[in-house]
Amino acid sequence: MKQFLIRQIVSFAYLLESAPRYQRVKRFFNDLLNNDDYPYKKYFDLFMIFVIISSVSILVIDVHEHVSYWLDFYDLYIVTTIFVVEYLLRLWVHSDIHKVIIAHYEESQFFEKPFSFKKVFRQIAQDKWAYISSPAAIIDLIAILPSYREIRVLRVFVLFRAFKMLRYSRSLLQFFDILRNKKVELYTLLTLLSFFTLVASIMIYVFEGGKNPEIENLFDAVYWALVTITTVGYGDISPITTEGRAVAMLVILTGIGAISFLTSIIVSAFSEKLPEIKETRVMNQIAKKRDLNLICGYGKIGQLVARKLKESRRNFLVIESDPDKVQKAELDGYDVLMADATKSDTLLRLKLNENVRSVICVTHNDIINVFITINARSLSKDVEIIARCSDQSIAKKLRLAGANHVIIPEEIAGMLGSVYIGQPVAFEALQAIITQKRTARIDEVEVKLGSFLDGAKVGDFDFSANKLVLLALLKRLDVKDKSSHYVIFNPPEDTMLKAGDILVILGYSVSIADFKGRLEQSVRYKKQ
AA letter at 104: H
DSSP string computed for 155-188: GGGHHHHHHTHHHH-HHHHHHHHHHHTTHHHHHH
In whole angstroms, give the CA distance from residue 367 to residue 401.
11
Q: What is the structure's pLDDT at 146?
A: 60
How many angstroms separate the Cα of 70 from the Cα of each of 54, 75, 88?
Answer: 13, 9, 26
Q: What is the structure's pLDDT at 429?
A: 56
Structurally, at CATH architecture level, domain 442-527 sits in 2-Layer Sandwich (3.30)
Q: What average pLDDT does the chain have?
A: 80
pLDDT band at residue 480 using 50, 70 and 90 as cut-offs: low
pLDDT digit string, tens, across residues 9-44: 888 888 888 888 988 999 999 888 888 778 788 888
Q: Strands 468-476, 336-338: parallel, antiparallel or unpaired by DSSP?
A: unpaired
Q: What is the structure's pLDDT at 234?
A: 79
Q: What is the structure's pLDDT at 485?
A: 66
Q: What is the structure's pLDDT at 463?
A: 80
Q: What is the structure's pLDDT at 333?
A: 85
Question: Is 338 within 8 Å of 323 (Cβ atoms)?
Answer: yes
Q: What is the structure's pLDDT at 51?
A: 86
Task: Report, as an integer, the average pLDDT of 96-108.
Answer: 85
SS3 of 324, please?
helix
Instruction: With a cut of 70, say whether residue 481 has pLDDT above it.
Output: no
Closest CA to 279 of 332, 315, 326, 343: 326
What does pTM read for this prediction?
Answer: 0.55
Q: What is the structure's pLDDT at 19?
A: 86
On the question of a common fold for 183-274 and 291-412, the answer reads no
Instruction: With a cut of 70, say whether residue 426 has pLDDT above it.
Output: no
- What is 183-274's CATH number, 3.40.50.970, 3.40.50.720, 3.40.50.2000, 1.10.287.70? 1.10.287.70
pLDDT band at residue 437 using 50, 70 and 90 as cut-offs: low
Q: What is the number of H-type helices and E-type strands within the chain? A: 22, 10
pLDDT digit string, tens, across residues 116-142: 778 888 888 888 898 888 878 888 887
pLDDT digit string, tens, across residues 234-288: 777 888 888 888 988 988 888 888 888 888 888 887 777 777 777 767 776 776 6
pLDDT digit string, tens, across residues 149-167: 554 555 556 666 777 776 7
pLDDT digit string, tens, across residues 306-365: 988 888 788 888 888 888 888 888 888 888 888 888 888 888 877 777 778 889 998 888
What are φ and ψ of residue 287, in 5° steps?
Answer: -60, -20
Burial of 400 (0-12, 13-18, 19+ CB in 10 A): exposed
In whole angstroms, give the CA distance from residue 72 to residue 403.
65
What are φ and ψ of residue 175, in 5° steps?
Answer: -60, -45
- Cite the beta strand spans of 260-328 per DSSP E: 292-296, 316-320
pLDDT band at residue 527 using 50, 70 and 90 as cut-offs: low
SS3 of 402, please?
coil
Task: Report, as an integer, the average pLDDT of 515-524.
Answer: 79
Task: Report, as an integer, the average pLDDT of 517-528.
Answer: 71
Instruction: With a cut of 60, say whether residue 483 has pLDDT above it.
Output: no
Distance of CA 452 to the CA centre of its chain: 42
Question: Is 40 within 8 Å of 32 (Cβ atoms)?
Answer: yes
pLDDT digit string, tens, across residues 49-77: 888 888 888 777 776 777 777 887 887 78
Q: Strands 440-446, 502-508: parallel, antiparallel or unpaired by DSSP?
A: antiparallel
Q: What is the structure's pLDDT at 274?
A: 73
Task: List the alpha helices (DSSP H) in 332-473.
Answer: 344-349, 366-379, 392-401, 409-422, 424-434
SS3 of 194, please?
helix
Q: What is the structure's pLDDT at 89?
A: 92
Q: Where in the chain are the domains? A: 2-168, 183-274, 291-412, 442-527
Question: Is 516 within 8 Å of 445 (Cβ atoms)?
Answer: yes
Question: Is 224 within 8 Å of 252 (Cβ atoms)?
Answer: no
Q: What is the structure's pLDDT at 148?
A: 52
Cα dihedral sign, 267-268-270-274: positive
Q: Give the angle subtended at the CA of 275 by the CAs of 273 and 276, to the nearest 5°.
A: 65
Cross-strand bridge partners of residue 487: 474
Q: What is the structure's pLDDT at 430?
A: 55
Distance of CA 404 to the CA centre of its chain: 30
Higher pLDDT, 206 or 416: 206
Determine the angle formed by the axes of helices 80-94 and 41-61, rounding to 10 degrees: 140
Q: At a CB cut-off of 8 Å and minimum separation 6, what does 50 contact?
A: none
pLDDT digit string, tens, across residues 183-228: 888 888 888 888 888 888 888 888 888 788 888 888 888 888 888 8
Question: Is 469 within 8 Å of 445 (Cβ atoms)?
Answer: no
Higher pLDDT, 147 or 320: 320
CATH number of 291-412: 3.40.50.720
Q: What is the structure's pLDDT at 520?
A: 82
How many angstroms separate the Cα of 370 from the Cα of each of 380, 393, 412?
Answer: 15, 12, 20
